[in-house]
Amino acid sequence: MQFLRNIFDNLRPNFEEGGKFEKYYKGFEAMETFAFTPGHTSHKGAHIRDAIDLKRTMFLVVIAMVPALLFGMWNTGHQYYLSIGELTGLGEGLIDKLIFGAIRVLPIVVVSYAVGLGIEFAIAIKNNHSVNEGYLVSGMLIPLVLPSEIPLWMVAVATAFAVVIGKEVFGGTGMNILNPALTARAFLFFAYPTKMSGNAVWIPQESGMAGVDGYTGETLLSQAYNAPTGTEFGTLAYDAAGQQYGSLADTMWASFWGWIPGSIGETSVFAILLGAAILIFTGIGSWRIMLSFLVGGLTMSLIFNAWGANSFMSVHPLQQLMMGSFMFGMVFMATDPVSAAQTTMGKWIYGFLAGFLGIMIRVFNPAYPEGIMMAILFMNVMAPLIDHYVVEANINRRLKRAKVAA
């Protein structure tokens, strides 16, 4: 580290006032503070808490996503080998599956960071302000919510849209209304729907393998949504071709560990919960939002179970929570400190409604059997309103107490 420190110290005079690259000082400063704690000290501001700076906070969030990323790479390889009938056992070909998955997944991560940080640096230099640190997290979230078969140029376009339209037009990090990663995914979903849903997007395909998509490549959500009316999906397990192969416990076990088709980082509940533990232990993620999100989803699932008008409503409540992107959205998306509610009571309301609406949209949406993305984006828009009424209620309550005391 001392070697790297010496490099920055030697380069600094060229970027400071009077140096030949002084107009690029903000870009140099951003690079330096990515590697080292900033040399300046904050003397005022209501949000000063301790020595950790925003870049370190964002870095811890990225660390929390590493389990989901690593599992996603393995699962990408596993689904591919399963589709061609090789290394079909869960314990077979661990290294082969990881290597195959890394070849498919890491380019998506690289494109996300290259495009996003490139735009952030360009805007920072143009406007002569510091580089926003928030993209450290968004750059990892975007790949994790995409299918492994997404074309790289689409990743680049969606990333540019999320950074420019989702963040910078509102003033950059800390000013955006919507979660940038969900903004990127929503853009792709509505602009290129065939690349974001359907059977063929979940399983890696090699040239000449058209039609080979791993037992049709359907996610559990697709299976449940397309099950014939009257099918008790909530009590039986099906493979992606609709054939019964086991019990509810088998389905839930596969969902918990994540060896099912789906977006790169969203299938393994276990890996996601590891990330949740890191976020809660470090105090970065809001446990109130996570818990209320979980309760909201569970409540809506129980209501649908009682209703039971179709097979999707009859899915076991715990299975509803483990399918699709529910857990990933709960841990990494809904807890975004910028776009979520800020007040304590607001967090409870915001999280509950996001989980509640997520299951509702999932079941009633005829176009795509998932609703977490839309539910969280909607609640992002509603978060300021929730906080407003929570604050107003607190003010009115205190005014009433003051009048009684007087």
Q: For residue 351, give the nearest of 288, 293, 283 by alpha carbon.
A: 293
Torsion, Cα of 146, 152, 60, 77 (10° steps):
60
Is residue 91 one of the residues assigned to a domain? yes
Is the four-CA dihedral 68, 69, 70, 71 of positive or negative sign? positive
Quote the crossing angle between the two packed helices 287-307 and 344-364, to the nearest 10°. Answer: 40
| Confidence class for position 166, pLDDT limits 50, 70, 90 | confident
Question: How many other CB atoms are found less than 10 A from the CB of residue 218?
Answer: 25
Is residue 102 one of the residues assigned to a domain? yes
Which of 334-345 are b and which e, b meaning 16 or more Cβ less than 10 Å from the residue's Cβ? Answer: bbbebbbbbbeb
Tell me the C-alpha distance between 87 and 90, whole Å: 8
Q: What's the domain range around 181? A: 7-37+54-186
Neighbour-count burial of 299, counting CB atoms closer than 10 A to its CB (0-12 exposed, 13-18 middle, 19+ buried): middle
Tell me the C-alpha distance between 161 and 55, whole Å: 23
Tell me the C-alpha distance between 185 and 373, whole Å: 8
Look at residue 212 in the predicted model and tell me its pLDDT: 38
* Chain centroid, CA 216 distance in Å: 25
Q: How many structural domains does the chain have? A: 1
Amino acid letter, residue 371: G
Is residue 281 one of the residues assigned to a domain? no
What tokens appear for 20 in the block?
């030949």
Position 354 pLDDT exceeds 90: yes
| pTM for the predicted model, two decimal places | 0.83
Look at residue 242 in the predicted model and tell me its pLDDT: 42
Look at residue 262 in the predicted model and tell me its pLDDT: 87
What tokens appear for 144 in the block?
């994790």
Q: Which of 31-40, 305-314, 339-348, 368-377 has the lowest mean pLDDT?
A: 31-40
Q: What is the mean pLDDT of residues 10-20?
A: 75
Is residue 47 one of the residues assigned to a domain? no
Is residue 374 one of the residues assigned to a domain? no
